[in-house]
Structure 1
Amino acid sequence: MAWPAIGAPEALTGTLAKIEDAGVIVIGYREAEPPFSFQKSDGTVVGFSIDLCMRIVERVREQLGRDDIVVEYVVATPATRFILVKNGMIDLECAATTNNAERRELVDYSYPHFMTATHFVSRRADNIESVADLAGRSVASASGTVNIDQLNALNRAQNLNIAVMPTKSNEDAFDLVVTGRASAFVMDGILLAAMVAETPDPSIYVLSTDTLSRPEPYGLLLKHGDTAFKTLVNETLESIYTSGDIDAIYAKWFTSPIPPRGTNLNLPLSSDLAAAFRTPVEYLE
């Protein structure tokens, strides 16, 4: 495809200079965060966010005139992702990371590539239908996420006496619900839906209609203040979005069978996200 022109600086700086010197672009990914970023049984890293980042890698190669730039993958967990980006240990975090003002003090975000609200998942047999029903129960959420902060804030504000159970990963938190050690797991609705869909019997679990937040956007993470690299990233995404290429990429991951079990999330593009793709802008709320 025809990429937007980006004026080459007299001398490369920041992330682009780092990539040029090393001949490597380092991508941060999740081991198990379908459909955004995950590792298949053969070790291949795939997902919706990864596909977008691979298009950015193509643009970097073109910008630098270096077809030999290779991709290195580094695991970036909810607890480590911001440190890895801030310290330059990864050049681009390609997963499902919510954009908010506090986090923008540490890192920069690309244009949004998804939107979701915070929900909780529980076992259907427990009949937990609302946030109020969580009162006095044990509820899991992954450390380093906005979701656990929202859960703690709600717990204090409404005096729910919830026993909050921090975990290292989303998988650990969901396992607490599966094994009955927690009554619920609080996380982004889309990620919960994907995890439930991958279980042997999804009917055992129910995703809440109650939310702990309004819909918020995900963005790709990059180093704070790196204007040249951020411009490249955003102009690449804008080209993908406004050309219509995003339709096929979205359909591949949200309305088609995906690895490892051929699960189809059957999640059509929402009107809000479609509008964000038509006119991409930075999310600064």
Structure 2
Amino acid sequence: MNLKISRRAAAVLTAMALFAGIASEAARADSLARIRASHTLTLGFLAGNAPFSDGDEQHASGYTIELCQAIAEQLRQQPGLGDLQLRYQPLTLDKALDTLRAGQVDIICSPMVETLQRRETLSFSLPVFTAGLGVIVRRDAPQSLLAPLSGQPIEHGPTWRATINQGLSKHSFAVLRGTTTVEWARQRIRELGLQSRLEEVDNYAEGVRQVDAREVDAFFGDRMVLLNLQTRQADPQALWVPEKLFVMSRVALALPRNDDDFRLLVDTALSQAMRGPAGEARYQRYFGAPSELSRTLFQLYPLP
């Protein structure tokens, strides 16, 4: 009898724990109810990630910040939310997604690569940009390093692999901690059998600083961000961002998982903000005139 009672009690406790977990997740996922209750939309973003996002708790700016402000305008059209306030929350890359999972921010207003692993615990908006992985180096770096990083043609004979290895081996490279670039760089180093040092940095500014100070030889990151930071250096001409793109990825805004109503509102606002002449004008303010490929992708992302 006691054994049966113990088993029943265990089953009840398990069911209660499961229900509590589901209820807790549902509560965290109901973004619209939380926003209506607080009359506040909390925008998490990565500072120092211009031209996409930059700023502090008082003010934020950038391309994806403007897209999030369009989401706020969409929310203000909802009944009872005409006085919706915006709250900006600067985040570090290593803490950003955990902060969103915990419900401390409503959305991440910096572009994130959508991966299957991240989709296990998060959701994502429709794509907002096509990011390209580039590199920044010093202009006075040896040609044996500059050539393979810039995509200059190299003889494809028996010495091709040796030539690549000679140029890249025994150099040091930096990547942004917590990004998909880390594993990409490690895999390239393994594939080529390089004797290279890989450093992980916490933000873009630190990566560029290390290249400028000759602490590392090159820093891989989003090419648009690298170009923006190059122009801010005391001697911009000392650094170089080649046109070569090593990886292209669609990026989106990270959202709470299992919250279809909020995601629908976000995608509706983004589609309206990116569509038509006004959307292209916003793009040009931050990135210049789009190429034909960029214009085609830009037209595909908004939903009808």
TM-score range, shorter chain: 0.7 to 0.9
Aligned twin of 2:277: 244
Where 2:51 maps in the other structure, the secondary structure is: coil
Q: 1:172 to 1:65 in 2, by over 3 A?
A: same
Cα deviations by residue, 1:34-84 (Å, 9 ceiling, x for unpaired): 1110117x9521111111100100111212431222111111222111111
Answer whether contact 2:55 2:90 (CA < 8 A) is retained. Answer: no
Aligned twin of 1:263: none
1:211-250 aligned within 5 A: 211-213=245-247, 215-250=248-283
The alignment's TM-score, normalised by the length of structure 1, stands at: 0.83
- Does residue 183 of the first structure (1) align with residue 217 of the second (2)? yes
Return the alpha-carbon distance in structure 2 between the equivalents of residues 162 and 107 of structure 1. 34
Where 2:97 maps in the other structure, the secondary structure is: helix
Q: 1:239 to 1:210 in 2, by over 3 A?
A: closer
Where 2:254 maps in the other structure, the secondary structure is: strand
RMSD: 2.0
Answer whether contact 2:51 2:63 (CA < 8 A) is retained. Answer: yes
Return the alpha-carbon distance in structure 1 between the equivalents of residues 300 and 244 of structure 2. 29
- Does residue 25 of the first structure (1) align with residue 41 of the second (2)? yes
Q: Identify, as 1 or 2, the structure richer in helix.
A: 2
Answer whether contact 1:107 1:223 (CA < 8 A) is retained. Answer: yes
Where 1:220 maps in the other structure, the secondary structure is: strand
Report how far residue 279 of structure 1 moved: 2.8
Where 2:69 maps in the other structure, the secondary structure is: helix
Answer whether contact 1:119 1:212 (CA < 8 A) is retained. Answer: yes
- Of 244-253 and 228-237, the range deviating more from structure 2: 244-253
Report how far residue 281 of structure 1 moved: 6.3
Q: 1:25 to 1:43 in 2, by over 3 A?
A: closer
User: Identity rate of aligned residues, in percent?
Assistant: 22
Report how far residue 15 of structure 1 moved: 0.6
Counterpart amino acid of 2:36?
E
Q: Specify every segment of 5 or more residues in structure 1 that has no aligned partner in the other structure, as ranges.
A: 1-12, 256-267
Where 1:126 maps in the other structure, the secondary structure is: coil
2:64 to 38, 42, 49: 49
Instruction: Give the number of equivalent residue pairs.
Output: 256
Cα deviations by residue, 1:250-269 (Å, 9 ceiling, x for unpaired): 122223xxxxxxxxxxxx21
Answer whether contact 2:135 2:221 (CA < 8 A) is retained. Answer: yes
Aligned twin of 2:159: none
Return the alpha-carbon distance in structure 1 between the equivalents of residues 87 and 274 of structure 2. 25
Aligned twin of 1:279: 300
Counterpart amino acid of 2:298?
F
Return the alpha-carbon distance in structure 1 between the equivalents of residues 290 and 99 of structure 2. 31
The higher radius of gyration belongs to 2
Q: 1:209 to 1:250 in 2, by over 3 A?
A: closer
Q: Specify every segment of 5 or more residues in structure 2 that has no aligned partner in the other structure, as ranges.
A: 1-28, 150-163
